Amino acid sequence: MATRTRRKWAPDPRGYYARQIGWEHSKSGKLQQHKFLLGTDRKEAENRERKLRELWETFEKSCQEPRPLWSPALLAVAQRIAKGIPDIPVPRAPHEMQHQYAARIQRMQARYSDAVPDLAPCQQ
């Protein structure tokens, strides 16, 4: 299902550009779109929005559910994109074996390489 798309780019009262992309459950359990703050520079905000939409659309196409939700790991990646952080470390799960961790990063790189070219293991 598509996400909200606004044609007009106007900053909020604090000067930040924001967009709602993808779906999640609120604290009360209701379905809502996730709000990303994309910075105060319009051109950079437009670039970040493009990357986020590309990431969401790739994820959405790979899901079987009628309305997929951001997974915690993918939402963490999306939040770093929204902040403009170039490198995106993927944390290792507590009981995840090294080969499982490497395989998970490779799968994520293969699936989301167009939107997120800089996925890498966390330095531990």
Residue 78 lies in a domain: yes
Determine what percent of the chain falls in helix, strand and coil, rounding each to the nearest 5: 40, 15, 45
Are the CB atoms for 18 and 36 separated by under 8 Å?
Answer: yes
Domain encompassing residue 77 = 18-121
| Domain annotation covers residue 37 | yes
Write the pLDDT tens digit of every residue in 19-40. 999 999 999 999 999 999 999 9
Residue ranges of the alpha helices (H) in 20-96?
Answer: 42-62, 72-83
Asked if residue 26 is part of any domain, the answer here is yes
The parts of the chain modelled with pLDDT lower than 50 are: 124
Residue 96 lies in a domain: yes
The predicted structure's pLDDT at residue 4: 58
What is the structure's pLDDT at 14?
95
Instruction: Answer whether 84's CB lies under 8 Å from 43's CB.
Output: no
pLDDT at position 6 is 58
Residue 44: CB partners within 8 Å, gap ≥ 6? 38, 84
What pLDDT shows up at residue 114? 67
In whole angstroms, how far apart are CA 107 and each of 97, 112, 120? 15, 8, 12
Look at the chain and report how many structural domains it folds into: 1
